Structure 1
Amino acid sequence: MLLTSVSGAALRRGLSALLAALTLAAGLSVATAPLPARADETNGISGSPSDENGGDGRSRFDYTVQPGQQLDDHYVVRNTGTTAQVMKVYATDAYNTEDGAYGLLETGVAPADAGAWVSFGGAASVDIPLDPGASQVVPFTIAVPADAAPGDHAAGVVISTTSVESQILVDRRVATRLYVRVPGELQPALTISSIAADYDGRFNPLDGQVSITFTVQNSGNVALGANIVAGVNTYLGIGAGETSRQELAEMLPGSTRTITMVVNGIGQLGYLNPYVSLAPTVDENAMNPGPLDTVNRDTIAFAVPWLLLALFVLALGVFLFVRIRRARDEKTAREWIAYTEAEARRKAREDEERRPAVSSESR
């Protein structure tokens, strides 16, 4: 009876631990972004584009498919770990994360774009059991809807394996990018929807920095990156300080990204004209969408030289004080001279008035 009681308690604890593990695992699968990653040695997985016989050297899938048409391709799945695993292979839609990375929809979220166009033997996913070190080529089909919009549609082919570790259900995923370009009116366009600048001065009035914050939007239908140059001009378009350069990671159509770039070596010149210039680029593996227009945007900022202004005000105050004091001293001197001259004249008149009286008395 005691053994039975203990076993029942142990069973209840085990079930509680399993439920907690499954709950935590569900939370992890939602919070974890399905980006390419290296699994550990025990449960290692990998995948890459391939032909019928295995890997063919491609790093991603790139297609041009007319609306209403379909094509076939292959994906090789490898078990690089030391345990047998069942690998679930499926496709899902891609998006840009807040930091500009290439992200895929979370597990359980149904794709609605290019990820939904991919099927494995007519199904949305396929399970591949593999022994350690084994690999298998998985065929798949891309069927583009007849009403698909022109432009680039991004997705990813995902390998997912699950295992229980320390009572936690862990979902490991590795993904390969997949791009489908639907022919039609291609519009490769990056725009800068907003721009602002702030000046951060230093004690040295000839030094400082300008922070330029701007929002880039891929307003077209082609995936684009860009080489960005940020700088500052001042009076008459004369350049000031250094220029700052940055590479913008690929942005999918419809995505936006807010970027801040810092330009150093900017003196307290008063009027500043910060600017940003974007030269769009396409990935070396992507198809050429045609001419790409450079995007330019600028704004106005002010770098008030407070220290110089304070010194100028102080110097002006000293100058005015000296002028006023000098003018007052000169006025005082003129008044003193006028007073002494008036006194001398008065005494002279008094002397003149006394002389006749003295002469008549003496006679």
Structure 2
Amino acid sequence: MPSRTGAALRAAAAVTVAAALLGAPPAPAAAAGPGWSAAPAPGAGTASDAADRPYFYLEGRPGTVLHDKLSVTNKDKRPHTLRLRGEGAEGAWIAFAARTVSVPARTRADVPFTITVPPDAAPGDRSGTLVVTGGGHRTAVRTHLRISGATLSALSVEDVRVVRTGGGGGAAIRYAVVNRGNTELTPRLAVRADGLFGAVLRRDARTLPVQVPPGRRVRLTERWPDAPALDAVDVKLTVTAGGGAHAAASATYTAAPGWLLAASAATALGAAGGGTWLFRRRRRRRRQAQVGGTEPGVVSA
């Protein structure tokens, strides 16, 4: 971060501590938990509440400096000294007014911070967290940063394969979704599988409980508990997301019960053994014939 930005941050945004005591009663000394919490600082000096802002949302163009505050609330009867840092895609872009903050008992401290967007940052979404640690506890507050500019939604589906699971005849479809664009994606998945005699699986598109940041690969598993026990199946996955992102990939899957596989293996082994015995017998006969025809002192009649 440029030195003038850090100097301005320290001069104009020192750590502030709420002067009023918290209205909520302090937690009992024996209560579990760290005794403190962290959340985006609310407006108008009200008490910090995750319902006010459950996460940080900031937006700006490349090269800009964005400002906000993290609120740390101490509900304990004793002070806490806490450490602050940034993690995730824009963790290196985050600078706090102070890396360590001491919060008196039953008091709230608002810690300013900045996110400096690099001039060459690509437009799109970034995700990260502000992490607060102290007393053996860790709390993370999510940040969502949108860099203004033209966005591109693109993805690919890779490494599709079907594997048997357990002894009950079920299977699992394993695959990876890769975000090839510059905006965070929430993928939707549709599954189609066709066997030798027609359709064996149809699942309409549904939203997956995962968000894929730009440039990230996420490995996922689709459970298939009623997969056929005997069939040759073509499985096709279609993944879509906002902004027109669309991709598809396929895999083949041959299902067979264990006893059939064992019988096939035994048959193949027997055929291989028979072929080996016949080959050895023929080779032995050729050797005997060669020895009989070239042995010294033997004359053919």
**Normalised-by-shorter TM-score class:** 0.5 to 0.7
Q: Which runs of 5+ in 2 are unaligned?
A: 1-30, 263-301
Partner of 2:106: 133
Aligned partner of residue 251 in structure 1, secondary structure: coil
Q: Give distance in 2, aligned partners of 1:80 and 1:212.
A: 47
Q: Give distance in 2, aligned partners of 1:256 and 1:210.
A: 23
Q: Give distance in 2, aligned partners of 1:292 and 1:41.
A: 47
TM-score normalized by the length of structure 2: 0.64
TM-score normalized by the length of structure 1: 0.54
Amino acid at match of 1:181: R
Amino acid at match of 1:44: G
Aligned partner of residue 214 in structure 2, secondary structure: coil
Q: Give distance in 1, aligned partners of 2:78 and 2:184.
A: 39
Partner of 2:4: none
Q: Give distance in 1, aligned partners of 2:165 and 2:127.
A: 40
How far 1:176 sits from its partner (Å)? 0.7
How far 1:60 sits from its partner (Å)? 0.9
Partner of 1:211: 172
How far 1:68 sits from its partner (Å)? 1.5
Matching of residues 72-83 of structure 1 within 5 Å: 72-83=67-78
Q: Give distance in 2, aligned partners of 1:43 and 1:209.
A: 43
Q: Give distance in 2, aligned partners of 1:234 and 1:59.
A: 47
| Corresponding position: 1:198 with 2:173 | no
Partner of 1:53: 45
The alignment-based identity, stated in percent, is 25
Partner of 1:260: 221
How far 1:308 sits from its partner (Å)? 8.8
Partner of 2:139: 174
Aligned length: 228
Q: Deviations over 1:257-297 (max 9, x none)?
A: 222322233334532112223233xxxxxxxxx62334322
Amino acid at match of 1:261: E
Match of 1:152 among 125, 129, 133: 125
Q: Give distance in 1, aligned partners of 2:33 and 2:104.
A: 12
* C-alpha contact (below 8 Å) 1:190/1:217 kept by paired residues: yes
Query: Which structure has greater helix proportion?
Result: 1
CA RMSD of aligned residues (A): 3.3
How far 1:77 sits from its partner (Å)? 0.9
Q: Give distance in 2, aligned partners of 1:41 and 1:201.
A: 39
Who wins on radius of gyration, i.e. which is larger? 1
Aligned partner of residue 276 in structure 1, secondary structure: strand
Q: Give distance in 1, aligned partners of 2:32 and 2:255.
A: 56
How far 1:243 sits from its partner (Å)? 4.4
Q: Deviations over 1:142-165 (max 9, x none)?
A: 222222222222222222224xxx
Q: Give distance in 1, aligned partners of 2:141 and 2:179.
A: 22
Q: Give distance in 1, aligned partners of 2:126 and 2:173.
A: 31
Instruction: Assess, with a 3 A threshold, how the Cα gap between structure 1 residues 152 and 141 changes in structure 2: closer, same or farther.
Output: same
Match of 1:93 among 87, 90, 102: 87
